[in-house]
Each structure stands twice: as structure tokens, then as C-alpha cells.
Chain A
Amino acid sequence: MTSRFSFPAVGVLTLAALTLSACASDGTASGALTVKASDSSCNISSSKLEAGPSTFKVTNGGSKVTEFYVYAEGDRIMGEVENIGPGLSRDLVVDLPKGTYEGACKPGMIGDGIRETLTVSGEAAKKLSDSEELTAAADSYERYVKSQSDALIVKTEEFVAAVKAGNVDEAKTLFPIARTYWERIEPVAEKFGDLDPITDGREPDAIAEGVDFTGWHRIEKQLWVSNNTKGMDKYADQLLANVKKIVKLGQDAPLTALELAQGSKALLDEVATGKITGEEDEFSHTDLWDFKANIEGSQAAIASLRPVLEAQDPELVKDLDAKFKLVDAELNQHQDMTTGDWKFYDELTKDQVKKLSDAVAALSEPISKVAAVVAASA
């Protein structure tokens, strides 16, 4: 990379370089660096950095407004912080991979700036390859998926049989129960892009796409709105065939540990977007069955990852346990403990929905951190 120092401040630069080499003897810096900017100098506390995120604390000791840039080869901007008035300081956080860069202060916010070379060494995040622990986690979850898939097929068969027999009441009873197994392992289904919408798609989307409305919710609509099973045979057969197909595909291509971590979050996103709003089961209002199943599925994913998480971030595990408990406490009060039935979603008060929403939000925050912990342990 060519240097393009536009200020003839050689003396200052030499001085800066000396200071830098003194710092560098302590080894490479990572984390926080200071940048002392003046009208004629740009003094970065270290010229050698570790790969990964670095914070540059830029303080303007000069009399002109300044800005600070980190450039990669060809003046590609890696990060910048502008408009730092005299006497003020601002932070710039940049994630720098291994390589050579330039840090530049621009007093007066004009010109090419006063530049310092930055050498970034080491490796940032390792390429993700599953460790033994992660493989064990994925295997454990695979067993869970297997048990749920077997039950899903059995219960879907029962549901489909009731629909085809024209037995409306029985079909209505079986609908939320069969879906429980589906909702627990939904991240598996979502891996197979084409099959998920035709199995679990919703009416407005089918209309928008100009395709036939099929799957669970097509039959749900017939059962609850028309209170019969007319014309449902083909949808019922198709549902069972697709569920079997998804189960097979899922067993052939099990989730990796990272997908599993992402899946634990995706299940909560499902709750927050589809269940809290009561729009998933808009005809039957059996959303709480799905709600609970999503939470259980997420919990199962976390359980499989538990040894990895315990080793990497025990505090996070404690937090997750506590927040799962809170969601359960909020949710379980809506279940009839004798029959196992849940309240219909339209029976909940606004306040009860808000409490559920708060509990899910509280759990979603720590869950959103799981994937990074898993990635870091690879």
C-alpha cells in the first residue's frame, strides 16, 4: 500500500513512530486503543493489532474539527467517525481481519489526512467446524427430532383419518395435538423451503402467491369455519405425504449445532410473531398448544447444547433457565391440568397476552446470544 501523507509533518510522524514502536514492544494490542488527534498529528497508541474488533478512542486535542478513518488497501473505508470537535472524543469500533491498514486523522475534515500504518495479525473467528462437543450436541438433538417425528407421523395419521371419516369433532380435538409435534421441531421443517409453506402456510400468503391454500390451516379453516370436512380428502392426503417427506429429509440431513442454536431462537421468533398475535391458528384459536410446543422445542435445543454452553458461558445458562421458568409460569396457568387442554387464544385478556409477550421477550434476549457462544466454541 502506498502512503499518501498529504501533510509535510514528517517530524511529528517520526516522533509518533517512535512512540508506537515502544508500545509495540509490549506485543500486539487488542481491544481499546487511543488516538490522540491534533491539528498536525495523529497518534495511535499501537500500530500492531490483533485481528477482531478494536475500539479506537479518538480524542481531538487540536483546534479544528477532525475525523478519523480506518482504511484498507485502496482506501476502502473500514470504519469512520466524523465531526469530532476540539476537546471532544468519540469511539470507533471496527472489526479488522488480518492485514495492513491505515488509520487517518483529518483535521479540518479535509484532505487525505495524517495517516498511520496499522498491522493486524492473528486470526479472527475460526472457520466453524464442529468440535466433539458440538457433534454430541447435534446428535442429542437428532434423537429428540427422531422421537418427535415418530409421534408426529402417528398423530398426523390419526388426524387425517378423522378428517377423511368426516368426524369433525374428533378432527378438531386432534388438530392441536398433532400440531404440537410439528411445532416442536419446526426449525427442521423450515430447512426445506418448498415443503414448509404448502404444509403450514397461511391463507393470505397463498392468495398473494396465487397458489392453492393447502396444509394444516386449510383443513383448520374447513373444520372451524364450515364445521365440516367437505373436499378435505385431498388436502388431508397431501398433508400426511408432505409431513412424511419432511421427516425423512430431516433425518437424512440433521441440523448442525449452529443451526440448532439458531433454531432455538427461531422457535421463539415464531412465538413472538405468530402466536402472541394469535394469527397462526386464526380459525381454531388453538395457538397456546403451538405456543407451548415452540417453547418446548426451543428448550430441547438448548438442552442439547447445554454442555457446550455450560463450558463457555455458565451465566448465560443460568439466565436461560430462569427465563424459561418465567415463560412456563406465565403460560402454564392457561392449561387445564386435568385434561391437558389449553385456553383458546381469544379467551385471553389483553393483559394476559402482554404478560406472555413480556416473558417471551425476556427469554428471547439471552437466546439470541446462544449462536455466538456456539460459534465461539467451534
Chain B
Amino acid sequence: MTTDSSAPESGLSRRKLLGAAGLGALAAGAVGAGAGFAIGDKPVEVVPDPDALPIPFEGKHQAGIVTPAQDRLYFAALDLTTESRGDLILLLKEWTEAARKMTQGNDVGEFGAVAGSPFAPPEDTGEALGLPPSGLTITIGFGRGMFVDGKGKPRFGLDGKLPDRLKDLPLFSGDRLDDALCGGDLAIQACANDPQVAVHAVRNLVRIAFGRASVRYSQMGFGRTSSTSSAQVTARNMLGFKDGTANIKAEDAKDLDDFVWVPKGDGPDWMVNGSYLVTRKIDMRIEIWDREPLEGQEAIIGRTKGSGGPLSGGDEFDKLDFKAKGEDGELAIGKVAHVRLAHPDFNKGAKILRRGYNFVDGSNGLGQLSAGLFFIAYQRDPEKQFVQIQRNLAGKLNDVLNEYIVHVGSGLFACPPGVTTEGYWGEKLFA
């Protein structure tokens, strides 16, 4: 495969071809295959379980960005504990090899989980044995800390390689960031339709990294809150609302070029065809939100809870009319409604590709749900995109939603372009 072929796109076209209905039919077919083999004398044609089709690992861009969002996430941010450039390069090579195998549904290592020496720990941890690839994608990103230390001194001989756009995100009004949930030198985003497969991927990469990198924090996510393809229905967040209706979709080629992929001349060459990843752990005050009347909830968001249609009228995908007024003569979509403040029209045209997941980390000691959104967004220029939009949203006086949410974790990572069949993640950075 050449660098020009695009893995995520080929993965997509498969899904696109099938459409949402097609996927359903496929799933039904797979059930049939497991249950019985023949009806009467006629053998039933067995179709592959969609989860058995691996998503190509190699390509122009990393998979896991415009790939139709899978159901589950396991995300980890790591700190590099080595200072050796050789160690780091070797780590990225070993990670690439392991990811190449795991995304195609294979075990890590030469002998995998069960065929190695009985006296040695198995190379693969084994919990994904017998499971299909499950749409696994593994996407990695480099944090600012990989390029410079706390005093701005270059690390790993990466002088002059730090992209201008990889600067710390500003503090936004209302942020209550916990240092332990922020930053990281490396990020691993593993998405799959089976949480076991996603966890297996991160666990094995973390294991490979022992002695070179150590986990700073990790996060499980479920119920994708964004659709990244028009073939997918819009999912709901923990507030019960459809989230990401107006998201950039894989089919919007122009939007992807304008807002997601880093073009030539947009910073260091090694980032061309890469993207910048912003993560935010957003705690939700679930119980308080649940006590809010429906009308209030809808006014805060600016959409109806049922169909997701804008309060200015119409169905989910209808255009938002920010000038429309209700019977009471007030704006239908209020001045501080979430959809208005987040909309490109009020953010100098800025859009982002969102790929977030819901999370529940059990309950806090007061019997409240420790739940929220692990927000993930990909973009070309964080300052002009995420930061622009978040400035508009942040602060109690702006987005009324802020009474119900609080940002506690934050990360910004430069995700390098995809790899070739022989290449490794970040190869151009170390060339």
C-alpha cells in the first residue's frame, strides 16, 4: 500500500456502501450463521460479521479519526520515563507493529498469547483471543511534553520540531482542571465495538512501554456521542440529548480538508496529513440536570430532546434559524443556548470533528453518578477551532449548560499522519 491510499476512507466506503440498514442486515445474517447452517436443503450464505472485517491500519491518515465512530473507547495518556531518543523511536516502532497486528485481529508478538515458551509470560495478554477485530482502531498523538520539558528545553533531540500549534490550551472560565487528568507526552486512543478489544489494545501497548513510558491517566468510554459518518445515526450524551448532529462527517471532503487534516505549509512537514487532538474530561452534574424541566433542558441546548430538531423548527438535520422567534416574541434559540454559541456562524466559521464518548466512573461517595463526556475533537488548528469555540462556551454567563458541567481534564496532542506498510508512527518526525 502506498502512502497515497487512504485507509480510513476505504474503511468508510465499506460502511457507506452498506448504509445503516445494510449493517443491520449483516448483523442479522451473522446471527443466522451462528445459529444454524441450512434452512431446508438450501445452505444459507454466510456473511461476515461486520466486526470480523478489520479496519485497515495503514494509510495516508491514521485510522480512528474519520473512521465511523465505534461504540467503545479506551483512552490513555502516558508520560515518557526515558530520555533516550533511541528508546522512544524503538517504542514507536514496537507500538506500530503491535497495533498493526491487533487492529487486524491478531495477537501481539511472534507467539501471541498461548504458543510461547511455558516458562515465559505470554507475549499477548490473551483477553481478546477468539474475538474478531471489532472495528478496532488505534490512534496515537504526541503531547507537548514529548518535545520540550517543563523549562522549554528540547527532549529527544526534537529541537525545532515542536509545532507552533501544540501549545498548552488556555485556562477557560469555569475550568476545574485536575493535573492528574491533564497532559501526557503520548496519547493512545483505542476505539472498538467491543470494550474488551479496546482495553486489550491499550493494555498491551502499555505493557510494551514499561520502562519507557508510564500511564498518567486512562479513561473508558461507551456510547459514542458523535457520528462521524452520515451512515450513522446521531447518538445521545448523558444529558439525554443527541450530540454531534452538526458534526463534520467523513463524507464532507471539503470540511475534512478545511478543518481536520493538516495541509502542507501549515506547520512542520512531519504533521502533513495529521491532525490535532483535543481531549476534555467533562464531569456532568447528572442529578441536578435530571431535575430540570424538559422545557428548560431544551432551552439550554437549543434543540428538542426527542427528535433533536432545532427549537427554531424542523427535524434533526434542518438548518438552525437563529433569528426565528417563538410565539412569545423571544428568540426560539436563545442567546446563550448551547447550539448557538457552538455554531460556526458565531465562531468565525470554525468547525471541529468531534468523536467523544460517554463515561461513568461509578458513583461518588455521595451516591451521585460520576459521569460525563470524554470529549474528543480533531482539527487542523486548535487555536482557531477548539479554543475559539470553547472561549465562546466557557463561563456561566455564556453557555447556561455550564451550570451542569465542569471540565476536569484536558489534553492536546499532535497526531502524526498514517503509516505505510513498512513505516512506523511518527517516522517523519525522527527522520
Contacts and interface: CB of A to CB of B under 8 A. Distances in A.
Contact of B117 (A85, A363, A372): A372
Interface stretch (A88-96, A209-217, A240-248): A88-96
A374 B119 CA distance: 9
Contact of B121 (A80, A82, A368): A368
Nearest to B34: A109
A38 to B, nearest CB: 15
B121 A93 contact: no
A84 B119 contact: no
Chain A facing B: main interface SS: mixed
Interface stretch (A19-27, A224-232, A296-304, A354-362): A354-362
Contact of A372 (B45, B53, B101, B120): B120
Interface in B83-133: 101, 104-107, 110-112, 114-121, 130, 132
B207 interface: yes
A358 B81 contact: yes
A58 to B, nearest CB: 11
A369 B120 contact: yes
A108 interface: yes
Interface string A61-74: 00011000000000
B33 interface: yes
Contacts of A292: none
A281 to B, nearest CB: 25
Nearest to A368: B121
Contacts of A155: none
A323 B211 contact: yes
Given A53-B115, A88-B53, A93-B114, A362 B43 contact: no
A90 B112 contact: no
Chain B facing A: main interface SS: loop
A248 to B, nearest CB: 29
B107 A93 contact: yes
B117 A365 contact: no
Task: State which size class the interface on B falls in.
Answer: 35 or more
Interface in A331-365: 354, 357-358, 361-365
B71 interface: no
Contact of A82 (B45, B101, B107, B130): B130
A109 B46 contact: yes
Nearest to B50: A85
Given A91-B107, A375-B119, A65 B114 contact: no
Interface of A: 53-55, 64-65, 79-80, 82-86, 88-91, 93-95, 108-111, 125, 258, 323, 326, 354, 357-358, 361-366, 368-369, 371-372, 374-376
Interface of B: 33, 37-38, 43, 45-49, 52-54, 81, 101, 104-107, 110-112, 114-121, 130, 132, 207, 210-212, 214
22 contacts: A54-B115, A65-B48, A65-B52, A79-B115, A84-B52, A85-B53, A86-B48, A91-B101, A91-B107, A91-B112, A93-B114, A95-B116, A108-B45, A258-B119, A362-B210, A362-B212, A368-B121, A369-B121, A372-B120, A374-B119, A375-B117, A376-B119
